[in-house]
Amino acid sequence: MPKKMLWPRLFAALVLVVTALLRCNPYLPSGGRSLLLVPAVVCLAVFEDTVPALLFALLAGAMWDVTSVGRDGVFTLFCAVAAAAVSLVVRLYFRRKTFSALLLCAVALAAAVAVSVAAADGSGADKVHLLFSVALPSAAVAELLSVGYYCLFKKIYRNSVFNKKLRSEFGASEAK
Amino acid sequence: MRKFLKSSAFRIAAVLLCAALLGCVAASSTLGGATPLSRAVDFVFTPLEKLSAAISKNLSDMNAAFTSSRYYQEKMREMQDTIDELRSQMVDYEQTAQKLADYEAVLGLKESNADYVFAAGSVISRDSSDGYYSFVLDCGAKDGVALNDPVVSGQYLVGVVKEVRDTSCVARTFLSPEINVSAYEVRSREEGFISGTAALSRRGECSFSGLEKGTSVAKGGIVCTSGIGGLYPRDLIIGTVTEVLDEAENASAYAVVVPGVNVSELVTAFVLTDFAGKGE
């Protein structure tokens, strides 16, 4: 890893850890937090190369699995696939813009809702109830917060307070 | 794109992904149901969860004290330092008193059941996507906790351990449809089983199913574990009947039960690691 990327990536990892802790904290008001890691992982993947994005996603997914019931490894796999796909798509087809990040977050959240409802306990009626009472409201909140995550990671990678040289190089590559 | 797929970095990433997949497969056959990756991450992540829970609990306790006492807010402006110190001491006292009450309740259970062996745990995280209020306790395999151990709060059954790691365990409450507890109603002695649905769980309730159509179970009845199957000891209190209804799909009845403990607000719990009749 280039030395100049060390501090931005450490800070990005810290953001993922804090998000995972916020997601599972038992004393915060319930509701709206269950899918917070999805926009964090997607917005990080927008600014990262595919392999680092995959590694960050494995970390985020493992922290998600540690606190969730059900089959271990499901959310790790989901986050890894989502991050790799987003990073590749941004490199090949999309620009690093807010609208692109929002669109990719929406797609990832739709997939996350499907995965979390499929992995939930209960019959079809229970899953439908969970879909409308827990999953969809959480997805709506996560989509709203994705703008914040995008701006945060943009700040980390573009205007890193730890590396002025990185900031100028990032600006030059964006201009191209 | 082809260049990227042929690169060594992609191969390394593919190997890592395969390893993660193998871990998922291995988890289904390993004791405790947790993958090696989860165990490794949990070793580091559990202390962070405990720290985060402790910080936010202290902040919410202090916030409750502020919003509930305007008189003390006014006093605090005049004697800020003294009142802050007294409030901090009050928070410590309340926490200790709550802990004492929890242990006293368990002591009562232990005195009437000398064969019970407990592992104490605090709730350090909750899965906010789970509609059945599952939670993580900070006791694990090193405390003697094993898969399918009952989780209790005082004399009330709360749930069962469904995932075990070295320093933590994940407990599912009996509000989940996946958890069925054989039970009986104390007054009528009728037997059935406790199960849950998403709709009932949202209201903090569960169903006592398998009753006959003309059941004598009535509102106010107390439902306890029957001990059948050896998963749960007998006579752990589950909750109180609030209404009796007919099943829509067959000729039986079920009772709506309110648990004795509000599982969504649980702070501490105990895992029954051993009891007479376990597994029989």
Query: Which residues of chain B neighbour A59 with C-beta distances below 8 Å?
Result: 41
**pLDDT score at A176:** 45
* Separation of alpha carbons B274 and B272, rounded Å: 6
Q: Do B177 and A76 touch (CB under 8 A)?
A: no
Q: Give me the percent of chain B exceeding a pLDDT of 70.
A: 92
Residue of B nearest to A134 (CA): B129
In a domain, B221, yes or no: yes
Query: Which residues of chain A neighbour B38 with C-beta distances below 8 Å?
Result: 62, 65-66, 72-73
Q: What is the ipTM of this complex?
A: 0.74
In a domain, B95, yes or no: no
Query: For B220-256, what is each residue's pLDDT tens digit?
Result: 999 999 988 888 988 899 999 999 998 887 788 899 9
How many angstroms away from the CA of A7 is the closest CA of chain B?
21
Q: Show me where the domains of chain A are located.
A: 3-26+33-160
Indicate whether A76 pLDDT > 90: yes
Q: Do A76 and B134 touch (CB under 8 A)?
A: no
In a domain, B235, yes or no: yes
Q: Do B23 and A135 touch (CB under 8 A)?
A: no
**Smallest Cβ distance to A116: which of B126, B129, B199?**
B129
Query: Which residues of chain A neighbour B167 with C-beta distances below 8 Å?
Result: none
Decide if A139 touches B, using CB distance below 8 A. Answer: no
- Residue A41's nearest CA partner among A8, A7, A76 is A76
**pLDDT score at A61:** 94
In a domain, B249, yes or no: yes
Query: Which residues of chain A neighbour B204 with C-beta distances below 8 Å?
Result: none
Q: How many domains does chain B have?
A: 1
At A67 the three-state DSSP class reads: helix
**Smallest Cβ distance to B125: which of A54, A67, A129?**
A67
Of the listed ranges A71-85, A149-163, B41-55, the one predicted with least confidence: A149-163
Q: Do A17 and B177 touch (CB under 8 A)?
A: no
| Chain A interface disruption, residue of B16, B35, B128, most A CBs within 10 A | B128
Domain that holds residue B230: 181-261
**Smallest Cβ distance to B52: which of A25, A55, A122?**
A25
Q: Which of residues 74 through 133 in chain A touch B, CB cutoff 8 A?
A: 74, 76-77, 80, 84, 88, 92, 116, 120-123, 125-127, 129-130, 133
In a domain, B190, yes or no: yes
Query: Which residues of chain A neighbour B21 with C-beta distances below 8 Å?
Result: 73, 77
How many angstroms away from the CA of B188 is the closest CA of chain A?
29
> Where does residue A99 rank: exposed (0-12), middle (13-18), buried (19+ CB within 10 A)?
exposed
Residue of A nearest to B13 (CA): A51
In a domain, B23, yes or no: no
DSSP for chain B, please give it.
Answer: -HHHHHSHHHHHHHHHHHHHHHHHHHHHHSTTS--HHHHHHHHHHHHHHHHHHHHHHHHHHHHHHHHT-HHHHHHHHHSHHHHHHHHHHHHHHHHHHHHHHHHHHHHHHHHH-TT-EEEEEEEEEE-TT-TT--EEES--GGGT--TT-EEEETTEEEEEEEEE-SS-EEEEETTSTT--EEEEETTT--EEEEE--HHHHHTT-EEEEEE-TT----TT-EEEE--TTSSS-TT-EEEEEEEEEE-SSSS-EEEEEEESS-GGG--EEEEEEE-TTTT-
Residue whose structure tokens are 């609030």? B242
Decide if A69 touches B, using CB distance below 8 A. Answer: yes
Q: Do A21 and B129 touch (CB under 8 A)?
A: no
How many angstroms away from the CA of B78 is the closest CA of chain A?
31
**pLDDT score at B38:** 78
Task: Compute the mean pLDDT over every residue in chain B, rounded to the nearest whole number.
Answer: 85
- Residue B76's nearest CA partner among B86, B91, B64, B61 is B86
Query: For B197-219, what is each residue's pLDDT tens digit?
Result: 888 998 999 999 989 888 889 89
Query: For A79-136, what is each residue's pLDDT tens digit?
Result: 999 999 999 999 888 888 899 999 999 999 999 999 988 888 888 888 898 899 889 9
Indicate whether A3 pLDDT > 70: no
**pLDDT score at A2:** 62
Decide if A14 touches B, using CB distance below 8 A. Answer: no
**pLDDT score at A68:** 83
In a domain, B48, yes or no: no
In a domain, B229, yes or no: yes
| Mean predicted confidence (pLDDT) in B148-157 | 92
